[in-house]
Chains A and B, each alone.
Chain A
Amino acid sequence: MNEQTAEQLAMVEMVRDFAATAMAPHTAAWDEEKHFPVDVLAQAGSLGMGGIYVGEEYGGSGLSRVDALLIFEELAAVDPTIAAYISIHNMVAWMIDAFGNQEQRAAWLPGITAMTELSSYCLSEPGVGSDAAAITTRAVRDGDHYVINGTKQFISGAGSSAWYLVMVRTADKGARGITAVVVPAEAQGLSFGANEKKMGWRAQPTRQVVFQDVRIPVGNRLGEEGDGFGIAMKGLNGGRVNIGACSLGGGRAALEKSIAYLKERQAFGGPLIEKQHLLFEIAQMATDLELSRTMLIRAAQALDSGAPDTVKLCAMAKLVATDAGFQVANQALQLHGGYGYLSEYGLEKLVRDLRVHQILEGSNEIMRLIIGRLAVER
C-alpha cells in the first residue's frame, strides 16, 4: 500500500525542493508578520498545486487523492499554515470541477488552478458551525439573479481570494434547502471583517464575509437548488483527508526535530536519547504518525475508487491524523524542554498551527458523530 511509483517519488522530491527554497526561509517571518504569501502561492500554482486532483482540461494536474496526500504532507512538513490554505483552495477547485458545468469550469478554473486567483470555502456562520445544515445566509431569486444576505464566519483566505464558494439557503427545508453559489470578490455588497487574531495559522487570513444584497447571476449556481449541502460535504470528504495530511507533515517535522535534538542534547552523563522513557516517547510518536499515514492512504484510495465506505474512512482518517499531529507536536515541544517553548526552534509554531486541524473541516467530535452514526446504522 505504501509502494510509491517513480513519478510519485519525483513529485515528492520537487515539492520538497520547492518548500525548502520558496517557503522554509520565510515561514517564521510570515507567521510573525501575519503575511499571506500570495506570490509563493502563484509559484506553487505554476507547478501544478492549484488543482492537484482537478482534470487537466482547465489547468488541473489530474493527479489522484493519494498523490495529493503526499504533496500536502511535504508542504506541511515545512509550513502547515500554507499547506492547509492550499488544501482548502484545492477543495474549492475540485468542487467547481466536479459540480460545475462546462461554461463555469472554463470561466473559473484556469485562474484558480494557476493560483493567480485564490478561492475560499464559505460554510460556517457566526451562529452555525458544526450543525452546518442550519445555516441562515439566504439567497432569494430575483429573475435571473440571486440576492444574497447574511454573514459567513472564520473564512480562510477571505479578503485575498478572488472567488467565494458560498453555501446559501434557498428554501426552509433544512439540509435540502441549501444551494452552492460562486461569488466573485468584486461583487457589489460583498465586504470582509477584520483579519482575526488567532493562535496559529497566522500566515493566512481568517475573516468574516458579509453579504448585503449581493446580486449574482443564477448562472453562478453549482448544480441545482438544494444540491448545496451534498456538494459541501463531498468537498469536505477530500478536505478532511488533505487536512489530515497537513497534520501528518507537521507531526513528522516535529518528530524529526525531536530525534535530532535528543541525540545531541547531553544530560545526566550522556545524550538524552539514551533515556528509555524518551526513546519510548519517540516510538509512540512514530507509531501514531505511521498509523495516521495508513488511515489517510486508505481514505484517499476510497476517494479515488469511489468506495461505499468513503465518508467513514475520511472521517476516521481526519480524526486519527489531526489528533496524532497535534499530540506529536505537543510532545515534541515537551522533549525540547525550555527550547521547545522558544519560537526560534519552530516547535511552538507547529503546536499552534496543528491545533486548529482538530477543530475545523468538521471538528473531531463531529468526526466521532459521523463514525458512530454509521457504525450503529446497519
Chain B
Amino acid sequence: MIMKGQSMKIVVLIKQVPDTAEERTLVPATGWLDRDAADNVVDEINERALEVALRVKDADKSTEVVVLAMGPDEATKAIRKALSMGADSGIHVLDGGLAGSDAARTAAVLAAALRGTSADVILAGNESTDGRGGVVPAMIAEHLGLPLVGGLNAVELVGAAGSGKVSGERSGDSGSLQVTAALPAVVTVTERTAEARFPNFKGILTAKRKPVATLTLADLDVAVTVAHAVVVSHSERPAREAGRKIEDDGTAGTQLASYLFENRLV
C-alpha cells in the first residue's frame, strides 16, 4: 500500500450495527432491527475497511480519510469511534425521514452525500453483519458512474486522482482473481483484510475535536421516496434441535457415511 504523488482522499462508509457477540432481535411490529436489544457498534467489516484507509494514511500522512454514516442519532458514536481510530473527519446523514430505508434508498442517499466529497476511493465492507444484503456499494457505484471493485481480500491503492489505481485479490469459486481499476472507484473488502487497530487514548481524546458535518435529506436534495423493499412477515428462527449422537461400536464410520447420503449432504 505505497502511494506516490498527490494526496489521496478516501471516504469510508461505516454502519452502526448491533454487536454480533450479543443476541440480536427484530421489532415484532415492523420487522426492523431492534437497535435497543444489543449494544450498537461500528460494523467490524467497516472497521477493516477503515483500517485499509488508515494504513494508506500511515504511509502517507497527507492522505485524507473521511467516514460517512447514515443512521439515527446514535450513529455519532460509530463516527466518533472511527475518528478516534484515526479518520480525519466525519459526515453524518441524519434525517427522521430515513428510518426504515431499504438498500436502494440507502444507496441513493449515500451516493448523494458522496457526490460533494470528490473522493478518489470510496471504501466499504462487502456486506454488513446485520442486513447482509451486500448490494449497497454496487448501487452507489452505479449512481456515481464509478467502477466497483468488490470483495477484495487484500487491497493496494496507488497514486492519486487522475493517475491512481486500485488493485487487489478476490476469491472466486474456482480460484482467486487479480482485479485492477483506475481511480476513482468504489472498493469493498472482506473480513480477510487486516484486523482493525484499537484507538489509542490520544485518538479517543482528539476525536471530539475533529469535524463532523451533519446532513439532512434537504441538504442532499434527494427525494423522499418510499422504501421498495418492505418486511411482509418474519418469524423467529426455530429452536435448535439436539443433534444425533453416534456411539462408536466399530461401525461409526459407515453410520456417518449413510447419514450423509440419506440426507443428500454429499
Contacts and interface: CB of A to CB of B under 8 A. Distances in A.
B198 A17 contact: yes
B194 to A, nearest CB: 14
B39 to A, nearest CB: 9
A10 B42 CA distance: 13
B80 A48 contact: no
A360 interface: no
A61 B201 contact: yes
B202 A10 contact: no
A11 B198 contact: no
Contact of A46 (B80, B81, B200, B207): B200
A113 to B, nearest CB: 11
Main secondary structure of the interface of B (DSSP, over half): helix
A48 B208 contact: no
Given A6-B208, A7-B205, A48 B200 contact: yes
- Interface size of B as a range: 10 to 19
B80 A10 contact: yes
Central interface residue in A7, A46, A56, by most chain B CB within 10 Å? A7
A47 interface: yes
B46 interface: no
Interface in A40-77: 46-49, 52, 56, 61-63
A7 B208 CA distance: 9
A48 B201 CA distance: 6
B31 interface: no
A12 to B, nearest CB: 10
A342 to B, nearest CB: 26
Contacts of B201: 11, 14, 47-49, 52, 61, 63
Main secondary structure of the interface of A (DSSP, over half): helix
Interface in B153-208: 198-202, 204-205, 207-208
Interface string A10-47: 11001001100000000000000000000000000011
A46 B201 CA distance: 9
A18 B198 contact: yes
Contacts of B106: none
Nearest to B21: A20
Nearest to A18: B198
B84 interface: yes
A70 to B, nearest CB: 11
A14 B204 CA distance: 9
Contact of B200 (A6, A7, A17, A47): A47
Given A7-B204, A7-B205, A14 B199 contact: yes
Nearest to A49: B201
Nearest to A61: B201
B202 A61 contact: yes
B100 to A, nearest CB: 28
Central interface residue in A14, A46, A62, A63, by most chain B CB within 10 Å? A14
B198 A6 contact: no
Contacts of B202: 48, 56, 61
A10 B200 contact: no
Nearest to B76: A6
Contacts of A7: 204-205, 208
Interface of A: 6-7, 10-11, 14, 17-18, 46-49, 52, 56, 61-63
Task: Pick the 3 closest A-B CB pairs, nearest first.
Answer: A48-B201, A61-B201, A47-B200
Given A17-B198, A49-B201, A56-B202, 5 more contacts: A10-B199, A10-B204, A10-B207, A47-B201, A61-B201
12 contacts: A6-B80, A7-B204, A10-B80, A10-B84, A14-B84, A14-B198, A14-B201, A14-B204, A17-B198, A47-B200, A47-B201, A62-B205
